[in-house]
Structure 1
């Protein structure tokens, strides 16, 4: 640590802190980024790029990491009135967010709200309670309609815009379910499980895996309390998909297989999605390409049957375009990037994806291009994905772009790759 501090480079100091033997094993970059109120991509650039110079940021990061003032090359703020100013706590990161969310849900929305803009969440909760008084129908249907609205907004506006209403719905469901009759309570908990799963997805897109995990666990608990077997299988599918964000191949496969073999009957589209997820797990664990393609073929058969049958519900969003881009991910993991590029391109050219998803799968296409030895096209596609990711505030997309930059390292001196690095600078 002292050697890093002697460089006057906070990025190197943070790296030395993350990798210090005191921790037993290196702290993940995404975890420390959450502590510092950064994204993983931002912290990666800070560690590898030029020394940050903005004093307010240096002071804040030093406070969060607890670096003694006498070891620093800049002056820390003096105590005010003889009392040292309260240091920003590490708990303001993802772990505190999950804890506040747990307390808030357990208190039926009475505790401090778990998002930064507390006034907005309280306003949403009051508006929901007021709107329900004028809704002519079952209370569960009212909250279900609000979730449909949230899901429609997410793909265009991004997770940060959708989150207050989703969390407001969850808090309102908790309040209404406490004194409801058993059948109404069961219906509310089923809607709540659906909402908690969706909120988990939003936190995934914000790259807050701890809070996402808490919400997926809450979704499973509510699905069990509601007696909804299909929802339980569906949450396992979502947990498998979250494991892909961290390249946890064993968990991707085992949870997908659990979702496939559990004591429930998933709707046809959800069945197709589960089988496709199994294919991804097989590709990641190095199974033969024939096994991967066999599962993808089965997923296609299930999806075709589902389209003939119509209907909505769990997995209603899973269509031919979704299957193709997910299949492209399978081919990337199976070491067939050129096939992946083709599939990504077919779907992206069709313009059927949401704005956020076009950025995410554009970034994944860029990664396949880089792995396939096409650095210039990869850099161009990735730069476009960065623009979309910033507009929709999708940290997950930005993290995929960081993977693209790593894959492009052998070509780092090419103008297109330098351009991508410039685009990524804060």
Structure 2
């Protein structure tokens, strides 16, 4: 049962100071069996894994670890760290067989178990040759983007993932535009990746972004493939991995078509990666290149991404990178300037940026101003369902520890607790 030890270790860590008896009462289960799960000497039932994951707010980690253990058990104890294993299962989620990495397979198992559906389930389709399915999915996505903006990612994620499955089924029907549907499936998968990233579930975000990249390559959409490399760099940057961020951004720059803003976006992602690595000169050079590229006269203003990618977007990320480099004074000044220039459609992102600005002010020992920005972020982001915002607020809360008795900090912490209820 050695393969269940990581599950037990994670369960023990998530339980924290809560006693086994208390947890057992909370989930209506036997404390002795929970103890055996923690010691890695008994395999937990799938329904208990899902229950523990939900009750301990594990965001799928327990489900994924259990999936790893089951995979290793079923495959004779294969080492769980071999990403290049050639014996990976071949399953793309809709019955077609395409190679995916072992990590992607495990993530897929975990996510599907978490939402209680199956990759092999089928949705009844009322095939109508007169229907323009591509136009239908385009219109639906616009509605889902609006719903995400209004109600948050958790209201949209199940619908988006179901549509990915529906599109996959349509691709197998005779007479459909299989290439167009594959491109549409790519678009929905990229959107799913972003929704999960915004909700704070990086495991699911990585899975769907990887699927989007795979499908973009299969459809031959070079611009989309390059853009998704940027998305992967963005995700790595949010996870704090500077080296991976720089590498993915470099790949996006190499593959970016010349008439798109993708190279400029990639330079911006690379800049933050350099900041995470502590390289001030490389950070500044990359941001300057991004600002120069976005003003290129060859840029097509009608392309996707061109509408929202501008100087204000670059500069608000530049301010974040300055904080990462420890230049809090310049970061705070830049945040102050750029937050007032953001377009209205950045409403949810603005709440995240407000917290990052607050962190810069904490670095400057301007605690009262930082707390006021935190309060503004809570007010602006209340009800957004953004896991990114929740995580940023948690970091700000920790940063306030040396000033926990100050009235402004107490007020911020009270407001944050109310937000979590």
User: Following the alignment from structure 1 to structure 2, what is the Cα–Cα distance between the partners of residues 66 and 212?
Assistant: 33
Matched ranges for 1:29-40 at <5 A = none
Contact 1:230 1:266 in 2 (8 A): no
Q: 1:65 to 1:245 in 2, by over 3 A?
A: farther
Q: Give the structure-2-normalised TM-score.
A: 0.72
Q: 1:64 to 1:242 in 2, by over 3 A?
A: farther
Matching of residue 94 in structure 1 with residue 60 in structure 2: yes
Matched ranges for 1:5-24 at <5 A = 23=6
Gaps of 5+ in 1: 1-21, 37-45, 72-83
Contact 2:259 2:299 in 1 (8 A): no
Residue 103 of structure 1: how far off its partner (Å): 8.3
Residue 409 of structure 1: how far off its partner (Å): 1.8
User: Following the alignment from structure 1 to structure 2, what is the Cα–Cα distance between the partners of residues 388 and 60?
Assistant: 35
Find the counterpart in structure 2 of residue 15 from structure 1: none
User: Following the alignment from structure 1 to structure 2, what is the Cα–Cα distance between the partners of residues 298 and 167?
Assistant: 36
User: Following the alignment from structure 1 to structure 2, what is the Cα–Cα distance between the partners of residues 265 and 28?
Assistant: 46
Q: 1:303 to 1:405 in 2, by over 3 A?
A: same
Matching of residue 185 in structure 1 with residue 197 in structure 2: no
Residue 134 of structure 1: how far off its partner (Å): 9.8
Residue 223 of structure 1: how far off its partner (Å): 0.9
Find the counterpart in structure 2 of residue 152 from structure 1: 146
Q: 1:104 to 1:420 in 2, by over 3 A?
A: farther
Of structures 1 and 2, the one with the larger relative CO (CA 8 A, separation 6+) is 1
Contact 1:270 1:318 in 2 (8 A): no
Contact 2:259 2:298 in 1 (8 A): no
Q: Secondary structure at the match of 2:257?
A: coil
Find the counterpart in structure 1 of residue 188 from structure 2: 195
Gaps of 5+ in 2: 39-44, 68-89, 97-108
User: Following the alignment from structure 2 to structure 1, what is the Cα–Cα distance between the partners of residues 241 and 147?
Assistant: 30
Matching of residue 59 in structure 1 with residue 14 in structure 2: no
Residue 399 of structure 1: how far off its partner (Å): 0.6
Taking only aligned residues, the RMSD between alpha carbons, in angstroms, comes to 4.0
Which of 134, 143, 158 lines up with 2:137 in the alignment? 143
Contact 1:269 1:316 in 2 (8 A): no
Find the counterpart in structure 1 of residue 226 from structure 2: 233
Structure 1, residues 165-222: CA drift from partner, whole Å, max 9, x if none? 322321221111112458x211111111111011011011111111111111211121
Find the counterpart in structure 2 of residue 76 from structure 1: none
Q: 1:413 to 1:140 in 2, by over 3 A?
A: same
User: Following the alignment from structure 1 to structure 2, what is the Cα–Cα distance between the partners of residues 301 and 146?
Assistant: 35
User: Following the alignment from structure 1 to structure 2, what is the Cα–Cα distance between the partners of residues 193 and 104?
Assistant: 12
Matched ranges for 1:236-385 at <5 A = 236-262=229-255, 264-265=256-257, 267-289=259-281, 291-305=282-296, 309-314=300-305, 316-350=307-341, 352=343, 353-385=345-377
User: Following the alignment from structure 2 to structure 1, what is the Cα–Cα distance between the partners of residues 236 and 169?
Assistant: 32
Q: 1:407 to 1:61 in 2, by over 3 A?
A: farther
User: Following the alignment from structure 1 to structure 2, what is the Cα–Cα distance between the partners of residues 276 and 380?
Assistant: 29
Contact 2:260 2:303 in 1 (8 A): no
Find the counterpart in structure 2 of residue 175 from structure 1: 169
User: Following the alignment from structure 1 to structure 2, what is the Cα–Cα distance between the partners of residues 298 and 133?
Assistant: 49
User: Following the alignment from structure 2 to structure 1, what is the Cα–Cα distance between the partners of residues 11 and 318?
Assistant: 29
Find the counterpart in structure 1 of residue 202 from structure 2: 209
Residue 386 of structure 1: how far off its partner (Å): 2.8
Residue 281 of structure 1: how far off its partner (Å): 0.9
Find the counterpart in structure 2 of residue 12 from structure 1: none
Residue 239 of structure 1: how far off its partner (Å): 1.3
Find the counterpart in structure 2 of residue 399 from structure 1: 391
Contact 1:156 1:354 in 2 (8 A): no
Find the counterpart in structure 2 of residue 79 from structure 1: none
User: Following the alignment from structure 2 to structure 1, what is the Cα–Cα distance between the partners of residues 393 and 357?
Assistant: 10
Q: Give the structure-1-normalised TM-score.
A: 0.71
User: Following the alignment from structure 1 to structure 2, what is the Cα–Cα distance between the partners of residues 167 and 24?
Assistant: 27
Structure 1, residues 67-118: CA drift from partner, whole Å, max 9, x if none? 449x9xxxxxxxxxxxx9x74544665254898xx9894359xx99777598
User: Following the alignment from structure 1 to structure 2, what is the Cα–Cα distance between the partners of residues 113 and 266?
Assistant: 39
Contact 2:253 2:262 in 1 (8 A): no
User: Following the alignment from structure 1 to structure 2, what is the Cα–Cα distance between the partners of residues 225 and 249?
Assistant: 28
